[in-house]
């Protein structure tokens, strides 16, 4: 609203007040009734008509003094808040800086960012397909590892080795040359099925030989070429040596 609007509003208020006063002068009985109502109100409040001016003056002074006190207290409270060093309004308005609390938080974030180690990229394990993993194990563990218990041809012949077509009959048992042998291993719990499948897939129906144990009947070390059956089960984690 422009200044001219305020002037027009003030002029209209004065004009209305003049009309009201002029109306009261034209109708004096209205003034008498109004004064009678005011005197009656004070009379009901216990104030005599002669004491009305003094009472009004006291009430007005008390009202003015009370307003001064309220305004003074508000100004004093505002001054105390502005003098408080932790007041964010003072920090921002009078110094042009950010509030202290925000500045402390920013400093803390900067410190953490400086001391926080850089994240290490996650390295996920690479899983090979089953067939490729099996070939990898065979090349690294089984096929390239010479069996220390594999006898030479002469030793096998001299030691009474049994040769022929090897038939897998159990998780740690085979049949060769019409005889049944147990391998020199101790199967691990829950590995019997996997052990049987591994032996069946690798050695069943192939030409091999078994060297019987000299002290324990039907216990032998069996081989297909230079690859030992017991050593295979141990390398795959299906059994432990005995």
Q: Flag whether the pTM goes above 0.85.
A: no
pLDDT of residue 153: 39
pLDDT of residue 164: 94
- Please check whether residues 81 and 158 belong to one and the same domain: no
Positions of the chain with pLDDT lower than 50, given as ranges: 94, 142-158
Domain coverage including residue 15? 3-92
The tokens for 42 are: 């004070």
- Please check whether residues 157 and 237 belong to one and the same domain: yes
Q: What is the pLDDT of residues 119-141, one digit of tens each?
A: 666 666 655 566 666 666 655 55
Residue ending a domain, choose from 92, 116, 142: 92
% the chain with pLDDT above 70: 70
Q: What is the pLDDT of residues 161-178, one digit of tens each?
A: 899 999 999 999 999 999
Among 227, 228, 230, smallest CA distance to 242 is for 230
Region of 31 (left: φ > 0; alpha: ψ -120 to 50; beta: rest) is alpha
Rounded CA separation 2/136 (Å): 91
CATH number, residue 191: 2.40.50.90
Tell me the DSSP string of 39-65.
HHHHHHTT--GGGHHHHHHHHHHHHHH
Q: 43, 49 in Cβ contact below 8 A?
A: yes
Structural domains of the chain, count: 2
Rounded CA separation 182/180 (Å): 7
- Please check whether residues 234 and 156 belong to one and the same domain: yes
Residue ending a domain, choose from 73, 92, 111: 92
- Please check whether residues 82 and 161 belong to one and the same domain: no
pLDDT of residue 237: 92
pLDDT of residue 98: 54
């Amino acid at each position: 609203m422009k200044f001219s609007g305020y002037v027009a509003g003030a002029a209209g208020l004065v004009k209305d007040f003049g009309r009201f006063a002029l109306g009261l002068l034209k109708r004096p009985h209205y003034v008498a009734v109004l004064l009678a109502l005011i005197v009656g109100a004070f009379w009901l409040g216990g104030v005599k008509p002669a004491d009305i001016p003094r009472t009004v003056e006291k009430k007005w002074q008390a009202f003015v003094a009370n307003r001064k006190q309220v305004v003074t207290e508000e100004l004093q409270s505002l001054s105390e808040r502005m003098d408080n060093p932790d007041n964010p309004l003072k920090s921002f308005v009078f110094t042009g800086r950010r509030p202290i609390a925000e500045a402390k938080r920013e400093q803390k974030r900067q410190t953490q960012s400086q001391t926080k180690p850089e994240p290490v990229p996650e390295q996920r394990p690479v899983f090979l397909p089953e067939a490729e993993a099996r070939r990898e194990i065979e090349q690294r563990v089984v096929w390239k590892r010479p069996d220390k218990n594999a006898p030479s041809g002469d030793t096998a012949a001299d030691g009474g080795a049994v040769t022929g077509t090897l038939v897998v009959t159990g998780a740690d048992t085979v049949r060769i040359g019409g005889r049944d042998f147990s391998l020199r291993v101790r199967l691990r719990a829950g590995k019997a099925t996997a052990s049987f499948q591994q032996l069946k897939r690798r050695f069943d129906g192939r030409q091999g030989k078994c060297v019987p144990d000299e002290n324990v009947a039907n216990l032998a070390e069996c081989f297909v070429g230079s690859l030992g059956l017991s050593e295979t089960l141990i390398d795959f984690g299906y059994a432990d040596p005995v």
